[in-house]
């Protein structure tokens, strides 16, 4: 009896003793004010630019460890600025890109950055990464006339090339480190960026240390930690407790963060940073069908007019998403404001009249609405279902697990489907070509546009037009033509939302794509 | 004993082969292949086909099985489709984290569950017994994630005594030497590292131990009650031994024997990782790793990790049998 009582005493005594040590005291000595802790939901898929496939967490870390030749300029992300390149020129035919490189930049391993390193890095990515076959794969040759000049020649005009050069796949790696480390480079990346790679502990964290010799000036932070917290409720508690400084919503687009928004809005210790994105979520019609009601543009328009877009934004998204009117978001440099007037707007009575005009009795119309899984998509599908019920159309919702959904969608076995696109580089081409070029209709989840020689030609022309003004005009015409055909109903564009402790300063939420740089960030 | 061990170890081989064939086919029956899952909704067929070729997924399944078995024979479990790292390295990297909380949880459960069971039995139907029975029933039936969330709210958010998640404070930097955070923290010599790890362990260990302690408590109570009714216990009492000597000298030893099986098998189960506990506490263990692998359709990881789990489970249960024989002469005699 005494033995067990003693045991109890020891156990509970130990628990109490440990419990009364304030947790904060444990970390008092650490450099809290110069370390920024970012919570992300999963491991980076890799820290190696050569094999990056636009996975958001790895991509963002790459952009903080490496530099690209050019980058999109904050806060509008409509113009490019030089990074490792100081200036560049594009030949009139749009096929030759001539870059002058920054002098005196060194890699984290102390070796010098030069034209050879650029050639080495880009050729390496082309060789290693099938993901960039259609973009960097257009490079025919890379010349290095001097240490500070590099000339790319493409096999055909491709103006989005500059935008691709701003992406993590085009980050410049240290050729010496690649040669020395071999396969281990993937876990010990060496670049020229504001932060040096320090350690990666799988499922736990990635640690980056400041690069004091960074050519734009040393970062304000001494250390950057990406800590991996898979559970949303845990991330929230950690932010509220101050265990992490930032929660990123990027890559977490399957749930609506409105509950967290409401809780954090009343918390003085937490700030909410928002930025519009170029992500589009839409209801698609299968535009390749040859019979059925949806081959009639009046029926498609009626469906699009039955949806209460503003109600969706306020009711389901609580201000965390914005309106979309056509194939491009309104923050794209190629957006044409005229599509706002052309886009179908919410008018159930007119929708009913249109259906009658098309000779369709809505009570005969039962349609399956396919969707991704997840609470966000479920809420959107249910909202659309209720809207369409108001004009008498009966909708059955079929939420399908992603791989199966993709197979079904690409095979074209559907009439109406919820879909979306998150462009992985900042160019209208990333939405328009893949979504609407009829030749690509079976190659991915697209609007399955029917053959249309004129529109197809225009899309290809815009993709290759070197003159930016002409290119913008072309994209304007394309947007208007597409919107008039009502290939779908453009539902919403989710905002990029970052929750941060209120002492975090200087963070710019990058929109296209949503990869943030921490060089300018500090903690007070 | 030696013959018994050899027989048992040899019998592991066909079982492992069967596990391999089942898992190999099962993962390929889950709809969707890894290339589609890894590239996400925006990818084109060309990008997917290129990745499939890169990952050798375009080979016929039987050929893939042949290559896999041929690799296994040379100790090569393949590489993870997601990270490109060897599967065995990836599994061994995460095993220490799971071992660390599993061992701690088993120790806590034994230290808490056994005395509770004994006290309950010796005071059967008292107020203490009823209270313990209600508590242990709660412990057995409460879902782990609910208990985890409650503990986080109370001890981390409201009281602020304990950290929410993770293995140690983010602000500490400790090199990964053994993979056991506690040992690494001690080796690093960083001030506050060891206590930080201990504090981070309390909540996840409590959640893992709660179920086992409750199960064990109920089990020990039952066997103890049974033993106390045995003839030899009555004889011992009749000889005039004190109540304490009867309970701790005679009854307890016999009642604890079957408990070894319970603890051993539960421990073996824990080595497969506790997905929910590891996820909620951001604990980088093997359960979470496996869950992610299934979500990503990371075939080589699912196959390799399942084989490792199966082997660990069988070895642990073998160990339990051996331990049983060491402690119980009756069993030892049967093994010969």
Q: Taking CB atoms and an 8 Å limit, are A240 and B160 in contact across chains?
A: no
Tell me if B80 is assigned to some domain.
Answer: no
As for the ipTM of the complex, it is: 0.81
How much is the pLDDT for B100?
92
Range of weakest confidence among A181-195, A224-238, B133-147, B151-165: B133-147
User: Closest Cα of chain A to B11: distance in Å?
Assistant: 35
Record the pTM: 0.85
- Residue B261 included in any domain: yes
pLDDT digits (tens, 9 = 90+) for A363-422: 888 899 999 988 889 999 999 999 999 999 999 999 988 888 888 898 898 999 999 888
Identify whether the C-beta of residue B275 lies closer than 8 Å to the C-beta of residue B294. Answer: no
Quick one: closest CA in B to A229, which residue?
B282
Number of other residues whose CB lies within 10 A of the CB of residue B19:
18
Query: How close B35 comes to chain A (CA, Å)?
Result: 10
Please indicate whether, in this complex, the C-beta atoms of B155 and A19 are within 8 angstroms of each other: yes
**Quick one: tokens of B34?**
């890894």
- Domain annotation covers residue B34: no
Q: List the domains of chain A with CATH numbers.
A: 1-64+193-275+496-524 (3.40.190.10), 67-180 (3.90.76.10), 280-494 (3.10.105.10)
**B296 located within any domain:** yes
> Which residue in chain A has the smallest CA separation from B248?
A1
Tell me which of B300 and B41 has the higher pLDDT: B300
Please report whether residue B184 resides in a domain: yes
3-state secondary structure string across A212-234? CCCCCCCCCCCEEEEEECCCHHH
Question: Distance from B12 to chain A by nearest Cα, in Å?
Answer: 31
Reply yes or no on whether the pLDDT at A1 is more than 80: no
If pLDDT is split at 50, 70 and 90, which confidence band does A109 have? very high
Q: Tell me: pLDDT of B38 over 90.
A: no
Contact: A130, B51; criterion CB under 8 Å = yes
Quote the pLDDT of residue B82: 80
CB distance A506 to A331 below 8 Å: no
What number is the average pLDDT over the span A337-345? 95
Report the domain count for chain B: 1
A41 within 8 A of A146, measured Cβ to Cβ: no
DSSP for A13-75, please give it. Answer: HHHHHHHTS-HHHHTTTS-GGGEEEEEESS--S-S-GGG----HHHHHHHHHHS--SEEEPTT
Element (H, E) at A299: helix A297-306
Domain boundaries, position B224:
87-334
| B259, pLDDT greater than 80 | yes
Residues of B in contact with A420 (CB under 8 A): 41
For the segment A240-269, the average pLDDT, to the nearest whole number, is 76
Residues in chain A: 524
Residue A311's nearest CA partner among A489, A491, A487 is A491
pLDDT at B298: 87
Instruction: Please judge whether B36 and A3 are an interchain contact, meaning their C-beta atoms are less than 8 angstroms apart.
Output: no
Domain contains B59? no
Nearest CA distance, B29 vs chain A (angstrom): 12
Q: What is the mean pLDDT of residues B33-43?
A: 78
Residue A25's pLDDT is what?
Answer: 39
What pLDDT does residue A15 have?
A: 39
Measured distance CA(A497)–CA(B268) in Å, rounded = 43
**A358/A195 Cα distance (integer angstroms):** 61
Mean model confidence pLDDT for chain B: 86
Of A199, A402, A420, the CB nearest to B32: A402
Within a domain: B164: yes
Could you report the per-residue pLDDT of B262-288, keeping only the tens digit for each?
888 888 888 877 888 999 999 999 888
Tokens read off for B261: 């099986």
In a domain, B58, yes or no: no
pLDDT digits (tens, 9 = 90+) for B131-179: 888 888 887 788 888 899 999 999 998 998 999 999 988 888 888 888 8
pLDDT-derived band at A20 (thresholds 50, 70, 90) equals very low
Asked whether residue B26 carries a pLDDT value surpassing 50, the answer given is: yes
Query: What CATH number has the domain bearing residue B284?
Result: 1.10.3720.10
Helices (H), chain B: 2-29, 34-39, 45-54, 61-73, 87-122, 127-141, 144-151, 181-188, 193-228, 231-238, 243-244, 252-271, 275-280, 286-295, 299-327, 329-335
Residue A275 — very low, low, confident or very high, per pLDDT cuts 50/70/90? confident
Nearest Cβ partner for B171 among A32, A202, A403: A32
Rg for chain B, CA atoms, rounded: 24
């Amino acid at each position: 009896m005494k033995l067990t009582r003693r045991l109890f005493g020891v156990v509970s005594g130990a628990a109490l003793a440990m419990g009364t040590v304030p947790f904060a005291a444990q970390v008092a000595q650490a450099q809290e004010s110069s370390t920024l802790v970012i919570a992300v939901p999963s491991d980076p898929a890799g820290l190696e630019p050569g094999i990056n496939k636009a996975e958001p967490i790895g991509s963002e870390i790459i952009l903080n460890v490496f530099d690209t030749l050019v980058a999109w300029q904050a806060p509008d992300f409509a113009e490019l600025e030089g990074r490792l390149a100081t200036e560049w020129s594009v030949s009139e035919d749009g096929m030759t890109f001539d870059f002058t490189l920054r002098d005196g930049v060194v890699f984290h391993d102390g070796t010098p950055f030069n034209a050879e390193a650029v050639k080495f890095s880009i050729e390496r990515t082309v060789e290693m990464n099938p993901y960039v076959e259609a973009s960097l794969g257009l490079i025919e040759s890379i010349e290095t006339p001097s240490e500070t000049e590099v000339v790319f020649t493409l096999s055909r005009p491709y103006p989005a090339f500059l935008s691709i050069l701003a992406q993590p796949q085009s980050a410049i790696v240290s050729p010496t480190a690649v040669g020395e480390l071999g396969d281990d480079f993937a876990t010990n990346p060496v670049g020229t960026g504001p932060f040096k790679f320090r350690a990666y502990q799988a499922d736990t964290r990635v640690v980056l240390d400041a690069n004091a010799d960074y050519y734009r000036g040393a970062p304000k932070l001494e250390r950057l930690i990406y800590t991996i917290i898979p559970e949303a409720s845990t991330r929230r508690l950690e932010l509220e407790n101050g265990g992490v400084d930032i929660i990123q919503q990027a890559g977490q687009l399957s749930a609506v963060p409105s509950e967290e928004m409401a809780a954090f809005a009343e918390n003085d210790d937490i700030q909410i940073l928002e930025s519009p994105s170029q992500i589009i979520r839409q209801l698609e019609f299968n535009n390749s069908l040859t019979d059925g009601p949806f081959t009639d543009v009046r029926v498609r328009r009626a469906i699009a007019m039955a949806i209460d877009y503003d109600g969706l934004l306020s009711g389901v998204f609580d201000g965390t998403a914005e309106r979309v009117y056509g194939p491009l978001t309104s923050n794209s440099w190629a957006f044409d404001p005229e599509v706002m007037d052309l886009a179908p707007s919410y008018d159930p009575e007119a929708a009913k009249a249109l259906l009658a005009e098309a000779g369709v009795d809505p009570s005969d119309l039962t349609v399956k609405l396919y969707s991704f899984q997840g609470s966000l998509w479920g809420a959107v599908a249910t909202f659309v279902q209720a809207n369409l019920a108001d004009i008498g159309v009966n909708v059955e919702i079929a939420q399908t697990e992603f791989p199966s959904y993709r197979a079904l969608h690409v095979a074209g076995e559907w009439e109406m489907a919820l879909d979306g696109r998150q462009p992985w580089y900042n160019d209208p081409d990333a939405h328009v070509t893949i979504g609407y070029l009829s030749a690509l209709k079976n190659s991915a989840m697209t609007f399955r546009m029917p053959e249309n020689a004129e529109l197809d030609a225009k899309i290809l022309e815009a993709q290759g037009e070197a003159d930016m003004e002409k290119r913008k005009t072309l994209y304007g015409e394309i947007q208007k033509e597409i919107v008039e055909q009502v290939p779908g109903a453009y539902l919403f564009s989710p905002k990029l939302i970052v929750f941060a402790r209120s002492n975090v300063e200087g963070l710019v939420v990058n929109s296209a794509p949503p990869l943030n740089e921490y060089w300018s960030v500090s903690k007070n | 004993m030696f013959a018994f061990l050899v027989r048992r170890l040899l019998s592991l081989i066909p079982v492992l082969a069967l596990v391999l064939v089942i898992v190999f086919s099962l993962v390929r029956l889950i709809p969707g292949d890894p290339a589609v899952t890894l590239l996400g909704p925006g990818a084109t067929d060309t990008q997917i086909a290129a990745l499939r070729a890169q990952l050798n997924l375009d080979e016929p399944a039987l050929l893939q099985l042949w290559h896999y078995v041929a690799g296994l024979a040379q100790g090569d479990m393949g590489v993870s489709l997601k990270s490109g790292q060897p599967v065995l390295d990836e599994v061994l990297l995460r095993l220490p984290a799971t071992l660390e909380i599993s061992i701690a949880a088993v120790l806590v459960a034994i230290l808490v569950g056994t005395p509770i069971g004994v006290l309950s039995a010796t005071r059967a139907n008292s107020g203490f017994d009823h209270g313990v029975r209600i508590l242990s029933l709660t412990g057995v039936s409460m879902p782990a994630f609910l208990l985890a969330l409650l503990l986080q709210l109370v001890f981390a958010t409201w009281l602020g005594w304990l950290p929410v998640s993770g293995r140690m404070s983010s602000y500490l930097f400790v090199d990964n030497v053994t993979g056991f955070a506690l040992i690494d923290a001690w080796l690093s010599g960083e001030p506050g590292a060891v206590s930080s790890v201990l504090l981070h362990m309390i909540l996840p260990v409590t959640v893992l131990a709660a179920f086992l302690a409750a199960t064990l408590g109920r089990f020990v109570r039952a066997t103890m009650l049974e033993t106390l009714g045995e003839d030899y216990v009555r004889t011992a009492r009749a000889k005039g031994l004190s109540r304490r000597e009867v309970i701790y000298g005679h009854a307890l030893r016999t009642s604890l024997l079957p408990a070894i099986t319970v603890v051993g098998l539960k421990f073996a189960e824990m080595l497969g990782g506790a997905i929910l506990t590891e996820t909620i506490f951001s604990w980088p263990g093997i359960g979470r790793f496996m869950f992610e692998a299934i979500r990503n359709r990371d075939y080589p990881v699912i196959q390799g990790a399942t084989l490792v789990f199966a082997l660990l489970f069988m070895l642990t249960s073998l160990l339990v049998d051996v331990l049983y024989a060491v402690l119980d002469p009756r069993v030892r005699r049967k093994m010969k």
